[in-house]
């Protein structure tokens, strides 16, 4: 009987060690999942992310075709701002530089700072949307009750595949941090 208890204790200890090892491996996998996803998206080109640095103006315009660019705005809950594009869609010739704006309004009683994060759909089109100037490059401080026009200067690369006729540029506005705003 005593031998049976010792064997049960060994089996229990072994099982506990295996479970602890599996938990460590699962944590490591979960921790590595985001970087692995980023690598996968970079390799396949389906990430929907745009560059976070300014592009140079295009030197050629393809007047033989147009691409429709749709503009969408989302606000992270709890920010207390209104955030909308001043136009919902525009037709552009690939390579043509265009300027549009988003309008942000701080509806709260405190100064705050917003940060816009862009994404493009379909994801393959992201590499063809070039931002020359974008409010998403910097945090946007906005005093309580104030509003601001946030400009976007962009072009669609003339190398965009012929089967992409429409792309959607969506910005999600997040709270960056709260601090006094000087205006």
- For 85-134, what is each residue's pLDDT tens digit? 999 999 999 999 999 999 999 999 999 999 999 999 998 888 899 999 99
Q: Within this chain, do residues 148 and 75 fall inside the same structural domain, yes or no? A: yes
Q: Within this chain, do residues 2 and 34 fall inside the same structural domain, yes or no? A: yes
CA atoms within 13 A on the CB side of 92: 26
| Residue 135 falls inside a structural domain | yes
| Residue 127 falls inside a structural domain | yes
Residue recorded with tokens 């390579």: 95
pTM reported for the whole predicted model: 0.68
Percent of the chain with pLDDT strictly greater than 70: 78
| Residue 159 falls inside a structural domain | yes
If DSSP codes are grouped into helix, strand and coil, which group holds residue 6? helix
| Residue 11 falls inside a structural domain | yes
CA angle 62, 159, 153 (to 5 degrees): 70
Q: Which domain holds residue 90?
A: 67-177
The enclosing domain of 79 has a CATH number of 2.60.370.10
| Residue 61 falls inside a structural domain | no
The pLDDT of 62-71, averaged and rounded, is 95
Summary mean pLDDT of the chain: 83
pLDDT at 26: 81
pLDDT digits (tens, 9 = 90+) for 22-50: 888 887 777 666 666 555 555 545 555 55
Residue recorded with tokens 């976070």: 52
């Amino acid at each position: 009987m005593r031998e049976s208890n010792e064997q049960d204790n060994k089996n229990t200890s072994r099982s506990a060690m295996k479970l602890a090892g599996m938990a460590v491996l699962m944590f490591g996998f979960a921790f590595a999942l985001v970087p692995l996803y980023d690598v996968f998206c970079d390799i396949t080109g389906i990430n929907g992310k745009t560059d976070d640095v300014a592009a140079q103006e295009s030197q050629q315009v393809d007047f033989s075709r147009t691409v429709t660019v749709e503009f969408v705005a989302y606000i992270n809950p709890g920010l207390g701002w209104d955030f909308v594009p001043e136009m919902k869609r525009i037709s552009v010739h690939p390579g043509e530089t265009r300027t549009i704006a988003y309008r942000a309004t701080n509806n709260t009683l405190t100064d705050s700072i917003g940060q816009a994060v862009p994404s493009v759909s379909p994801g393959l089109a992201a590499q063809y949307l070039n931002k020359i100037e974008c409010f998403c490059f910097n945090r946007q401080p906005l005093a309580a009750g104030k509003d601001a026009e946030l400009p976007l200067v962009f072009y669609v690369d003339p190398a965009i595949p012929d089967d992409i006729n429409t792309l959607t540029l969506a910005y999600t506005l997040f709270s960056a941090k709260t601090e006094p705003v000087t205006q």
